[in-house]
Amino acid sequence: MIFSKNNFRGEEMKYDLNQKIKRGAQRTLAAFSSAMYELLAKKAYDDISINEICQVSNFPRATFYNYFDDKNDLLNYCWFLLKKESKIEEYQDISDEELQEYLLRQIFKTMYRHQELLTQLSKNNVPGSTIIVNLYEYFKNEAINILRDRLADRKETKLPIELIAEHYSNTILLVLKWIFLEGHPLTQTEAMEYVNRLLLQPEKC
């Protein structure tokens, strides 16, 4: 089943990531996320059970439920880790003109580092499945939040900020999805060129 808007929680996890995470909790979270990545490389997301996650991580179900409501919650944590690795939140010193390229570059580099996992996700899950939609939507929403925050102070904007942010984010993630989840390899420079053409010169595509 594809995530609906209501159960796509983003960072609204059971475990509060804003608190200082103790060393024991770090090890536990790392074990569960590593187990999820390992299982995702082997089988379809819908076929992964919490029992398997606990078996691979060497933790009991009770410990799993201390940190996560369900496997969707753990999946969101896995995407949260990829987002932190991408450093897309460190955009404060990036100019407006460079922000679009910055977002694509940082997400591209992270997906490239995890290309083997993403290739397996595509092989093990049908297009439009929970896992593919969830990954796409997670990063799209993160990009929307960043662009919306940057555009908030622009008084000259003629179109709604939400619409502009979603338009740019959709295009960036559409290209990245096409590359890493649909098997059309491009360089980072080529990916940026695709985004620019789609956004600025659609008549010349």
Tell me, what CATH number does 28's domain have?
1.10.10.60
Q: Is residue 1's pLDDT more than 50?
A: no
Give the count of beta carbons closer than 10 Å to the beta carbon of residue 205.
7
| Each residue's pLDDT tens digit, 7-51 | 334 456 777 777 788 888 899 999 999 999 999 999 999 999 999
Residue 182 lies in a domain: yes
Among 15, 47, 75, the domain boundary falls at 75
* CA–CA distance, 9 with 16 (Å, rounded to integer): 13
Parent domain of 192 = 87-204
Same domain, 169 and 111: yes
| Closest listed residue to residue 42, CA positions, set 54, 56, 28 | 56
Q: To the nearest whole number, what is the mean pLDDT of the chain?
A: 88
* Residue 146 or 7, more confident: 146
* CA–CA distance, 21 with 29 (Å, rounded to integer): 10
Counted domains in the chain: 2
Residue 51 lies in a domain: yes
Among 72-81, 117-126, 152-161, the minimum mean pLDDT is found in 152-161
Residue 123 lies in a domain: yes
Could you give the 3-state DSSP secondary structure of residue 99?
A: helix
* CA–CA distance, 4 with 105 (Å, rounded to integer): 28
